[in-house]
């Protein structure tokens, strides 16, 4: 039961991260600026919480509620979520690097760090799944 819930949570998180990334990239490419949104009509900070922080927390929760259950698929979903965070920040930085305020660059570093943690947790989940399969 927890594994199914974790997979659903992870898929929802990935969808939210993709929506966030598309909106951010569209805002940049339409020259609206990094502090703007394209199709999500909300404040940038609210967008960051709903479509960035909450999915990250949900991915961490999906790992920990199933930490004793092996699942390669869940591990892959967590890696995808972390990868979206890292790649998304990389794309935004590549498109807007020079116009990002110094204070904002620290936030980008934090997002990359969280994404790296997600990738590591997904890798651990996959590794635990392989170990349990070899023990059977």
Q: Per residue in 76-98, pLDDT tens?
A: 999 999 999 999 888 888 877 66
Domain ranges of the chain: 2-135
pTM of the model: 0.87
Residue 19 φ/ψ, nearest 5 degrees = -60, -45
- Residue 77 carries which DSSP code? H
Q: What is the mean pLDDT of residues 129-133?
A: 77
- Distance, in Å, from the CA atom of 7 to the CA atom of 59, rounded to the nearest integer, reads 9
Structure tokens at 5: 């819930």
CB 93 within 8 A of CB 100: yes
- Distance, in Å, from the CA atom of 22 to the CA atom of 14, rounded to the nearest integer, reads 12
């Amino acid at each position: 039961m927890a594994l199914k819930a974790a997979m659903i949570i992870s898929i929802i998180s990935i969808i939210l991260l993709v929506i966030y990334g598309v909106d951010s990239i569209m805002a940049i490419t339409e020259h609206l600026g990094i502090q703007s949104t394209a199709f999500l009509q909300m404040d940038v900070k609210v967008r960051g919480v709903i479509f960035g922080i909450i999915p990250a927390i949900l991915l961490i929760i999906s790992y920990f509620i199933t930490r004793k259950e092996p699942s390669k698929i869940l591990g892959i979903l967590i890696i995808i979520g972390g990868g979206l965070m890292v790649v998304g920040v990389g794309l935004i930085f590549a498109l807007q690097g020079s116009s990002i305020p110094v204070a904002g660059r620290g936030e980008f570093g934090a997002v990359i760090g969280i994404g790296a943690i997600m990738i590591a947790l997904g890798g651990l989940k996959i590794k635990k799944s392989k170990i349990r399969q070899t023990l059977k």
